[in-house]
Chains A and B, each alone.
Chain A
């Protein structure tokens, strides 16, 4: 079975802190994605990557950056966390034309 793991299920940070969210997949997928999900707004894509060291902006990249140094790992970075970044963060991976798989999510609260 495909496994996508995220470093934390719950995270509480202070405004202005630098936050790292890690995602690892074990199926050699080329494509990896970071989403955030908020009530009433649905899933929104932050960034995605279709290869190592490649990244593409999604719909809401402002305030975020990403890193993909190894194929299996895709990191989301909040350079200076703000309260409006309180959200559920979901990582996903996919091989082209195949099913997309999601991690369990990280519930981030920024105080």
Chain B
């Protein structure tokens, strides 16, 4: 059974720091991996999708990498801002017509 782990559960950093959020998964047989952002009381917003054949994806200040063989993905946030404060979740897709397996998320606080 696929398990997705995100450690630590919470992180607090000063504004301007570059930071890395980690995601690990136990079964490397995945179609893709997706990173989401969730603001309090809101739905999940898709940030980046990495297909299993890709190594990384970039969107603005965000860069996500994928290493299937080691069961790891990282989300790199450059020059963090208070507006980046949110919970970040990763999820893996095991295949066709399948459900995603989610991590519990990392709650990020960026201090002004």
Residues of chain A whose beta carbon lies under 8 Å from any beta carbon of chain B: 4, 30-31, 33, 42-43, 45, 48, 50, 58, 88, 90, 92, 96-105, 107
Contact = CB atoms under 8 A, between A and B. Distances in A.
A42 B104 contact: yes
Contacts of B49: 98-99
B51 A97 contact: yes
B100 interface: yes
Interface in B9-49: 31-32, 34, 36, 41-46, 49
17 contacts: A33-B99, A42-B103, A42-B104, A43-B89, A88-B41, A90-B43, A96-B96, A97-B31, A97-B93, A99-B46, A100-B34, A100-B100, A101-B46, A102-B43, A102-B46, A104-B42, A105-B42
Contacts of A96: 96-97
Interface in B39-90: 41-46, 49, 51, 89
B102 A100 contact: no
Which of under 10, 10 to 19, 20 to 34, or 35 or more describes the interface residues of B? 20 to 34
A97 B46 CA distance: 14
For the complex of A and B, list the 5 residue pairs with the smallest distance between their C-beta atoms, beginning with the closest.
A50-B97, A102-B43, A102-B44, A99-B49, A42-B104
B81 to A, nearest CB: 23
A95 to B, nearest CB: 11
Most chain A beta-carbon neighbours within 10 Å: one of B45, B96, B99: B99
A45 B32 CA distance: 19
